[in-house]
Amino acid sequence: MHEFAGESRCVVRISHIHKLRRLGTAREPLSPTRDVQLHKHAGRPHSVFILAHALACRRRERHILRIDSFIMEHTMTRLPQLVLLCVVAFPTVAAPQSSRAAPAPEDSAVVVWIRKNSIPLRTLDAGSGFTDLAPIETILQHARIVGLGEATHGSDEFQRVKHRLFQFLVQQMGYTVFVIEAAFSDAQPMNDYLLHGKGSRADVLSKLGYLAWDTEEFAAMVDWMRAYNRTAPESKKIRFFGVDLYRNSVGRSKVVAALRRVLPTAVATTDSLFRTLAEQERRWPGWDTTVIDAARPQLDTLARELEARRAATPAVLTPAQWDDVIQLVNVMRYMAVRKHRDQYLAQNMVYLIDHEAPGTKFVLWAHNDHITKDSLSLGYFLRQRYGDAYYALALYFNEGAYLTRSIQPLDGFKITKKPPAAPSSLESFLVRAQLPRFFLDLRAPAGTPAVDAWQRTSREAYGGVWAFQDPTTLASLNDTLKVRDWYDGLLFVKESTPTHPTANARRIVERKESF
């Protein structure tokens, strides 16, 4: 198991009103010379501590208070207070200015640099050839892990162009592993489908448990993966994995089956524990956090017993089977912690990398906030461990609409509309390049002091979320970032339109299930 945490410290960042995205982490052994100083947790209950501390803390490069896409790490009974805090803390979106001041000369230099260094994309659609993408091959020639981000999970254009980029990376650059912001455990049926044709595409897609991916756009990419694997040599076949902590039904079944072979005395108590966790998982995001907290020591005990049993009777399972069952328990342990999410996503990612052949190349599909190199994100830990072999590519848009879902209470799909980018935002510079869609390598030399200053100056950029947000508080979704510190490259499209849920996804929403 790869640990990224040491002594107990805490950083506060309130993400979606239903989730505290990164409550805390510590100095990671990946970079012993870099100490990210954080604030002490002081042992107070999460919701009380965060509400009080978030008001007092100064933010570093990003908003301390922020709405995000995942529902976790807080006490649900505190939601009314948290909503009140968000109303007080987040201003409404200002009305667009009727006139804007002329851009400063240094701003014009930045736009000229963007146009000069950008790689225009002829189309967003896969199956359209790779001639326009050819320059990207040189940019990524030393990358082993490419993080494909997105400013929203519900943009049709993002899912289409990421499909095209993934197809390019597989067919032109030898990438073979696809990793997504979805359940580590319950993504396994998708891998079995892609490799062996087990099950149906519709079922395995819905079993990912995250309806943001249960779309016609994503399904088209899955269909391409399956078709590709039918004829690809074994070493070139695409494998599909998740790194997230929730939805562990597959893991629970596999662990109980293994216990019957290696530790039969633990089957009854473990089965009882897993039934409790399954019921809480069904209720998530409205689960009972006291039940989850009570499960943590039991999961810790189970992990220790399995490690001891492996040491005593290693031949009962193959090394790969031992690794798998212990990792599945570890993922449940991470879930029960209810904080440090990105740290655990990184540990799951490293596990996957370590269990593939040396030199295997990976594509990571997640939100911009996860793929960023900024402190305490998944991408940060990957950069610390793998250096420049990790390339963080963020996707942004100027204006338009994207798909979301009403989460509290759990309800149907909704369309969120975003106005044009505000002056001085990251997107305002990108749209002024007057290219409908383009790739921009931020590792390219800045060339002038103006461009270097632009890359290293804090500015806002939009970060839409899956959970539906009151349109009057969209400004609260903005990240404050220094683009060169956060990303290695950008992909920009002028307009976003909503993704299209599959028929399965619509039925799940009608039943008020999943996320």
Render pLDDT for 39-84 as a digit per residue (tens, 0 to 9).
333 333 333 323 333 333 333 333 333 333 333 333 333 333 333 3
Calpha distance 10→339 (Å, rounded): 10
In this structure, the strands spanning 118-120 and 239-244 are unpaired
Q: What is the span of the domain harbouring residue 21?
A: 14-89
Is residue 370 domain-shared with residue 504, that is, in the same domain?
yes
Report yes or no: 440 and 118 within 8 Å, Cβ to Cβ: yes
Residue 104's pLDDT band (boundaries 50, 70, 90)?
Answer: low
Is residue 444 domain-shared with residue 503, that is, in the same domain?
yes
Is residue 60 domain-shared with residue 28, that is, in the same domain?
yes
Is residue 378 domain-shared with residue 230, that is, in the same domain?
yes
Residue 145 pairs in a beta bridge with: 362, 390
Is residue 238 domain-shared with residue 267, that is, in the same domain?
no
- Is 209 a domain residue? yes
Give the residue from 89, 120, 135 where a domain finishes: 89
Is residue 126 domain-shared with residue 191, that is, in the same domain?
yes
Residue with the larger pLDDT of the pair 31 and 172: 172
Is residue 230 domain-shared with residue 278, that is, in the same domain?
no
Give the residue from 33, 64, 89 where a domain finishes: 89
Residue 37's pLDDT band (boundaries 50, 70, 90)?
Answer: very low
- Is 3 a domain residue? no
Is residue 258 domain-shared with residue 297, that is, in the same domain?
yes
CA 208 distance to own-chain centroid: 14
- Is 398 a domain residue? yes
Is residue 84 domain-shared with residue 109, that is, in the same domain?
no
Go through the chain and tell me how many residues it has: 515
- Is 374 a domain residue? yes
What angle (nearest 5°) sits at the alpha carbon of residue 498, between those of residues 497 and 503?
145
Is residue 267 domain-shared with residue 291, that is, in the same domain?
yes
Give the residue from 89, 118, 151 where a domain finishes: 89
Report yes or no: 389 and 38 within 8 Å, Cβ to Cβ: no
Residue with the larger pLDDT of the pair 477 and 220: 220
- Is 154 a domain residue? yes
Is residue 238 domain-shared with residue 374, that is, in the same domain?
yes
Decide: residue 476, CB within 10 A, 0-12 exposed, 13-18 middle, 19+ buried.
buried
Report yes or no: 98 and 45 within 8 Å, Cβ to Cβ: no
Residue 477's pLDDT band (boundaries 50, 70, 90)?
Answer: confident
- Is 342 a domain residue? no
What value does the CA radius of gyration of the chain take, rounded to a whole number of Å? 22
- Is 515 a domain residue? no
Read off the pLDDT of each residue in 126-143 and give the average, rounded to a whole number.
Answer: 97
Is residue 118 domain-shared with residue 257, that is, in the same domain?
no
Whichever domain contains 403, its CATH number is: 3.40.1660.10
- Is 97 a domain residue? no
Q: What's the structural domain count of the chain?
A: 3
In this structure, the strands spanning 19-20 and 14-15 are antiparallel
Per-residue pLDDT tens digits for 283-293? 887 889 999 99
Calpha distance 60→57 (Å, rounded): 9
